[in-house]
Homo-oligomer: A and B are copies of this chain.
Amino acid sequence: MQVINSIEEMKQERKKLACTVGFVPTMGYLHRGHLTLVRRAKRDNDVAVVSIFVNPTQFGPGEDFATYPRDTERDLEMLEKEGVDFVFMPTPDDMYPDGYNTWVETFGITSKLEGEKRPGHFKGVTTIVNKLFNIVLPHKAYFGQKDAQQLRVIQKMVADLDMHVKIMPVATVRSRRGLAMSSRNNYLSKEEREAALVLYKALSTAEEMYMRGEQDVARIRVKITGIINQEPLAKIDYISIADADTLEELTYMDRSALISMAVRIGNTRLIDNRTIG
């Protein structure tokens, strides 16, 4: 496994590869969700590249950029065990040198949900992912469905800008009791971790209601809002029941729906989602 810290070196190494390249962009502090992406990248391609970069431009003021968990040594051990070929770990100064001034922005779909609650977040995401794709030139890139809107935004950017990469969505990996894997779970106390199960419970309840024939979005919303509000440590940021493609809010479950939510558990903001129908 080769660890590369400079953009120029990564580009040089990439030029030498005449085989298929799978890519997993991460912010590090890896968990089983990331490892699932890595195994898919290994399985589908000749060479697997993983990037680790906590991207400052996708964090807003007052968000957790400074405290975002980092443990490079542990990450590298995990990736080595998975048989990853290249780990790309650029520095912030290399990615955003003095005078950096170009931004890639996808509009429309980014104005809702996470984009509405975290202004500028997706502009940071599309810009860094665009740069990483340009550097690594992957044939396939792997993204978890836990970040459902991010996945759609990246698919839209890739389609609009005619990038050669194929975006591969991978199902959310969960704890045995249903908590979606996230590096931010590391912030949770034992009590909060228990409380965080309420997201899964709410999503499962919504699906059960739909399976039993409920198609009225307002009724589903009232039910799952109630479930989360019963948990004293939980505070709802948003609950969305939207068209799975356009992310327009629905009033009636007459097409494939993305139920997504952001909930604060103590000081930690968690997101989760499920596609229904």
Residues in B neighbouring A7, C-beta threshold 8 A: 162
- Are A103 and B99 in touch, CB under 8 angstroms? no
- Are A160 and B101 in touch, CB under 8 angstroms? yes
Q: Given A101-B156, A102-B126, A126-B102, does the pair A134, B161 have CB atoms closer than 8 Å?
A: yes
- Are B108 and A105 in touch, CB under 8 angstroms? no
Residues in B neighbouring A157, C-beta threshold 8 A: 102
A131 to B160, CA, bound (A): 8
Residues in B neighbouring A131, C-beta threshold 8 A: 160-162
Q: Given A134-B161, A161-B134, A162-B135, does the pair A103, B105 have CB atoms closer than 8 Å?
A: yes
Q: Would you list which residues of chain A between 63 and 109 have a CB under 8 Å from chain B?
A: 99-109
A55 to B100, CA, bound (A): 26
- Are A160 and B109 in touch, CB under 8 angstroms? no
- Are B161 and A102 in touch, CB under 8 angstroms? yes
- Are B164 and A137 in touch, CB under 8 angstroms? yes
- Are B163 and A134 in touch, CB under 8 angstroms? yes
Q: Would you list which residues of chain A between 114 and 168 have a CB under 8 Å from chain B?
A: 126, 130-131, 134-135, 137, 156-157, 160-164
A11 at the interface (CB under 8 A from B): yes
- Are A100 and B160 in touch, CB under 8 angstroms? yes
A102 to B157, CA, bound (A): 6
Could you name 25 residue pairs across A and B whose Cβ atoms are closer than 8 Å?
Answer: A7-B162, A11-B162, A18-B18, A99-B108, A100-B160, A101-B106, A101-B107, A101-B108, A101-B156, A102-B104, A102-B126, A102-B157, A102-B160, A103-B105, A103-B107, A104-B104, A104-B161, A105-B105, A131-B160, A131-B161, A131-B162, A134-B161, A134-B163, A135-B162, A137-B164
Known: A102-B126, A103-B107, A131-B161. 19 other contacts (CB 8 A): A7-B162, A11-B162, A15-B164, A18-B18, A99-B108, A100-B160, A101-B106, A101-B107, A101-B109, A101-B160, A102-B106, A102-B107, A103-B105, A104-B104, A105-B105, A134-B162, A134-B163, A134-B164, A137-B164
